[in-house]
Amino acid sequence: MRCARVADVNVAVIGLGLIGGSVLRALAAAGHRVSGYDADPATRATARTAAAQAHSSARWQVTPTVRDTVARAELVVLAVPLPAVGGVLDQLADAGYTGLVTDVTSVKTPVRDLVAQRLHRPPRRLAGFVGGHPMAGRETSGFGATDPALFAGCAWVLCLEPRDTSMADWLELAALITPLGARVVPTTAAEHDRAVAAVSHVPHLLAAALVSASADDPLAGTLAAGSFQDGTRVAATRPELIAAMCGGNAEAVGPALDAVLDALRQARAAVDAEDPIAALRDWLAPASAARGAWPHRPGTARELPARVDDLLALGRAGGWVTAVAADRRTVTAVRPLRPAPA
Amino acid sequence: MRCARVADVNVAVIGLGLIGGSVLRALAAAGHRVSGYDADPATRATARTAAAQAHSSARWQVTPTVRDTVARAELVVLAVPLPAVGGVLDQLADAGYTGLVTDVTSVKTPVRDLVAQRLHRPPRRLAGFVGGHPMAGRETSGFGATDPALFAGCAWVLCLEPRDTSMADWLELAALITPLGARVVPTTAAEHDRAVAAVSHVPHLLAAALVSASADDPLAGTLAAGSFQDGTRVAATRPELIAAMCGGNAEAVGPALDAVLDALRQARAAVDAEDPIAALRDWLAPASAARGAWPHRPGTARELPARVDDLLALGRAGGWVTAVAADRRTVTAVRPLRPAPA
C-alpha cells in the first residue's frame, strides 16, 4: 500500500499543556507548519523559548491570540479542559475559522454536543469536526513535561459517527496522526465514553474507596504494601480533576460502576460461602486469566476498506489503524490477538 | 540505650520459599546458626548449593528431615503455607521439639488456633509461640528469589496476645528481627487480620472485579492504560493463592469488603447527583488527602517501656519497634507522622 504522505499541513493547537504541547511538538517534528496558543502568558513564553531551541526543521510558532493562531490553519486541535471547550469554539467562530476541528478531551459525548449546538447556529459553520482522545496520560503536566514521542504506540481515539462524521475528514486526521506512531482507534463518542468509564474513570473511584475504607486505621497504613500502593496510586490525583472526568461522563460511569458493584457483591457472597476458599477461587479464575492475557498482542496488519461500518467493526474488536492509503480507499488495520474464550 | 546483642541463636527454618529462604539467609548473615528444611528435595538442593557459595561467616545447613533441622534449635520459624502449618506443628511434636516457635503466614488467627489446639494436647507442649508476618511480598517466588536484605525497612508483625504471649518470648524475637532492618509491629492476631483484610486482601478482590467488569469488551481492553494497569496488577496472581489468602481470613475480609462497598455506594449516589462533578469532588477530597499523605514519614525514635499495653497502643497508632534494650525493660519505638485531621 502506498501510504498517504501528509506534509505541510497548517495546524493550530489551542492549549499547550502536556497533551496539546506534545501534539504541537510531534506535528512540528513530522514536518507540519504548526502554531500554538495558550491562555496562560507564562505557558506561551515557555513554548516560545522551546521553539527557538528546537531543531530548525521542527519549529513552531506561538501567537498571542486565538485569532492569530488560526489565521492560516486548515486544522485546529482543541487541547483545553472540557469546561473551556465551548468558549474556545466561540472564539473560533468569532475569528472566522471554518476549517476542520479535532480535540483531545477525555470525554467525547459532551464535546460532540457542544460542537453540534454551534454547527447548527448560523451564520458561521465549521467545515468539520472529528472528536479525538489520545490515551497518553502521565503523572506530570504542563509544557515542561511535553514530549514529541508521547504518542508512539499509544491508542488515539478518532470518533466516527455514522451520520455526522465526514469519512474524508476522518481519514485526513488518521493520515496526520498515524505517522506519530499512534494506534488510531475508530469508534463512536458513546462507545468511547462507555469504554473509558470502565477502564479509566471507575478505577479512580475504586482507588478512592479503597483509601477511604482504611484511612482511619493507622495500623493498616503501616501494614499497607504493594497491593495497596498500586491499587490506590491514582487516588492521589487532584480531586477536582477526577471529579470533572467522572462527573463529565456520569451517564456512562454510572452503569460501569454498577457492573463493578455487581462483581463485588458476588465476591462478598463467596466470602460468606460455606467453603469461601473454593467459592473465591471459582469467582477469581476468569479475571485472573483475563488480566494475565492483557495487554493483548497485536495481530498481523491487514488492508481494510476505508468504510464506516468496517472501521467501526474494527474498533469494536479492539483494533486500530496504523496507516491510511494514498488514495484514501483503504487503511492498514491491526486486530489484537485475544485468548480463545475458556 | 544498650541494645540486646542477640547472636549465636540456633534457628531452624521450615519452608525455604521466598520468605523462609530470605529469613534463613538474613539470620545467617546476622551471625546466627541456622538450619533449613523444605519438603521439596529440589528446593533443598538449591538451598544447599547456595550455602556452599555463601560467605563462610554467613552459611547455613540444609537437612533432609524436620527432625534433623530442629534437633539443636532454640527457635523454629514456620515458613510454610497455611494449609501445611498444622502438619508441621505435628512433626515438631513428634520430633520432641519444645522450644519457641514463630511463623510468617499472612493470616494470624487460624495459626493461633492451630497452635492452641496442640499446646493443650498432652503430653508435648511448645515452650512458646509468637505469630509473625513480614510484609515483604514480591512478584517472584522460590529460593532463587530469596534476598537476605528483603526485610530492610519492611513492617514485620509480631503478635502480642495479652493473655497468651510471653513478653520474654516476644522481646526475644523482636531482638532477633530488628537487626535485620525490619520494623517490628506489635499487634494482636485479630487486629492484624482486620488491617491486612483492608489493605491487602480486599485490594485483590477489587482488582479482580475491575477486570471482570470489562473483560468482554475488546475496545475497553485497547483503551485501557495506566489507571487500569496499576489498579488490576494483582488480579493476575494465581487465583488459588488469592482465594487461600482471602478465604483464610473470611471473617475479617467480609466487613472490610462491606466498608469498600459502602464507600462505592456513596460514589454511585454522587454520580447520580444533580451536580455530579461537585458531589464527586466532595466525596473524593478526603481520600485524595489521605493517599497524598501515605506512606507516613517516621517520627522521632523514643524509649518505650516493654509492657503489653504500651506496645499494643504503639501498634494501634501505626508505630513499630526498631530495637530492644539489653535489659529487655524498654524498646526503641517510632510512631508515624500522620497529617492533622482536616
Number of domains in chain B: 2
Cα A71 from chain centre: 27
d(CA B131, CA B112): 7
Confidence (pLDDT) at A6: 65
- For range B257-273, the mean pLDDT: 98
SS3 A322: strand
Note if the bond before B341 is cis, omega within 30 degrees.
no
CA distance, residue B182 to nearest chain A CA (Å): 12
CA distance, residue B141 to nearest chain A CA (Å): 15
* Residues B98 and B162 both lie in one domain: yes
Question: Residue B264: which of A209, A211, A319 has the nearest Cβ?
Answer: A209
Mutate: best of A82, A160, A199, A242, partner B, most B CBs <10 A: A199
Write out pLDDT tens, residues B59-87: 999 999 999 999 999 999 999 988 899 99
CB-CB contact of A106 with A81 (8 Å): no
Contact: B237, A288; criterion CB under 8 Å: yes
CA distance, residue B189 to nearest chain A CA (Å): 13
* Residues B21 and B86 both lie in one domain: yes
Helices (H), chain A: 18-29, 41-53, 66-70, 82-94, 109-119, 167-177, 189-196, 202-214, 218-223, 226-232, 239-247, 250-271, 276-293, 308-316
* Residues B102 and B232 both lie in one domain: no
Write out pLDDT tens, residues B150-202: 999 999 999 999 998 999 999 999 999 999 999 999 999 999 999 999 999 99
Question: Residue B218: which of A192, A221, A318 has the nearest Cβ?
Answer: A318
**Is the pLDDT assigned to residue B147 strictly greater than 70?**
yes
pLDDT band at B8 (very low <50, low <70, confident <90, very high): confident
A29-32: long-range contacts, CB 8 A cutoff, minimum separation 24: A29/A58, A29/A148, A30/A179, A30/A180, A31/A7, A31/A57, A31/A58, A32/A7, A32/A8, A32/A176
* Residues A268 and A143 both lie in one domain: no
Question: Residue A223: which of B135, B271, B283 has the nearest Cβ?
Answer: B135
Say if B267 falls within a structural domain: no
List CB contacts of B54: < 8 A, sequence separation 6 or more.
B25, B28, B60
CA distance, residue A328 to nearest chain B CA (Å): 24
* Residues A16 and A140 both lie in one domain: yes
Say if B292 falls within a structural domain: no
CB-CB contact of B152 with B178 (8 Å): no
Contact: A213, B263; criterion CB under 8 Å: yes
* Residues B166 and B244 both lie in one domain: no
Cα B178 from chain centre: 14
CA distance, residue A208 to nearest chain B CA (Å): 5
Contact: A198, B206; criterion CB under 8 Å: no
- For range B281-301, the mean pLDDT: 95
* Residues B84 and B170 both lie in one domain: yes
* Residues A160 and A25 both lie in one domain: yes
DSSP per-residue letters across B278-313: HHHHHHHHHHHHHHHHPSPEE---EEEE--HHHHHH
SS3 B175: helix
DSSP per-residue letters across B47-77: HHHHHHHS-GGG--EE-SSHHHHHTT-SEEE
Contact: A336, B205; criterion CB under 8 Å: no
CB-CB contact of B307 with B150 (8 Å): no
* Residues A47 and A168 both lie in one domain: yes
CB-CB contact of B51 with B61 (8 Å): yes
Residue A7, φ and ψ in degrees, nearest 5: -135, 165
Say if B270 falls within a structural domain: no
Q: pLDDT means per 10 residues in chain A (342 residues)?
A: 71 96 97 96 97 91 96 95 92 91 95 85 71 84 92 96 94 97 98 97 97 95 93 92 94 98 98 97 96 94 97 98 96 88 54
Cα-only R_g, chain A:
22
Confidence (pLDDT) at B102: 97
Q: What's A68's DSSP letter?
A: H
Say if B266 falls within a structural domain: no
Structural domain including B323 reads 10-187+299-337
Mutate: best of A277, A321, A335, partner B, most B CBs <10 A: A277
Residue B96 vs residue B138, higher pLDDT: B96
* Residues A53 and A183 both lie in one domain: yes
* Residues B22 and B147 both lie in one domain: yes
pLDDT band at B120 (very low <50, low <70, confident <90, very high): low
Strand partners, A61: A35
d(CA A27, CA A57): 11
List CB contacts of B330: < 8 A, sequence separation 6 or more.
B1, B303, B304, B305, B306
Of B259, B281, B311, which residue constitutes the final position of a domain? B259
Say if A96 falls within a structural domain: yes
ipTM, 2 decimals?
0.94
Residue B304, φ and ψ in degrees, nearest 5: -140, 135
Q: What's A129's DSSP letter?
A: E
Query: CATH number of the domain that B203 lies in?
Result: 1.10.3660.10
**Is the pLDDT assigned to residue B1 strictly greater than 70?**
no
Confidence (pLDDT) at A122: 61
CA distance, residue A250 to nearest chain B CA (Å): 6
Residue length, chain B?
342
Does the pTM of the predicted model rise above 0.95?
no
Contacts of B219 in chain A (CB under 8 A): 185, 187, 191-192, 195, 315-318
CB-CB contact of B280 with A243 (8 Å): yes
Amino acid, res. B124: R
**Is the pLDDT assigned to residue B338 strictly greater than 90?**
no
How many other CB atoms are found less than 10 A from the CB of residue A93? 16
Residue length, chain A?
342
Query: Pick from A168, A159, A158, A99: which is nearest to A328 by CA?
Result: A168
Contact: A218, B318; criterion CB under 8 Å: yes
Contact: B247, A278; criterion CB under 8 Å: yes
List CB contacts of A251: < 8 A, sequence separation 6 or more.
A109, A193
Of B244, B259, B274, which residue constitutes the final position of a domain? B259
Write out pLDDT tens, residues B189-247: 999 999 999 999 999 999 999 999 999 999 999 999 889 999 999 999 889 989 999 99
Cα-only R_g, chain B:
22
Say if B289 falls within a structural domain: no
* Residues B125 and B247 both lie in one domain: no
Exposed/middle/buried for residue A339 (C-beta within 10 Å: 0-12, 13-18, 19+)? exposed
List CB contacts of B117: < 8 A, sequence separation 6 or more.
none
Query: CATH number of the domain that A50 lies in?
Result: 3.40.50.720
Grid coordinates of A34: 504548526
Contact: B247, A280; criterion CB under 8 Å: yes
Contact: B228, A199; criterion CB under 8 Å: yes
CB-CB contact of B248 with B107 (8 Å): yes
Say if B333 falls within a structural domain: yes
Confidence (pLDDT) at A5: 58
d(CA B282, CA B294): 20
Say if B242 falls within a structural domain: yes
β-strands B100-103, B75-78 pairing? parallel
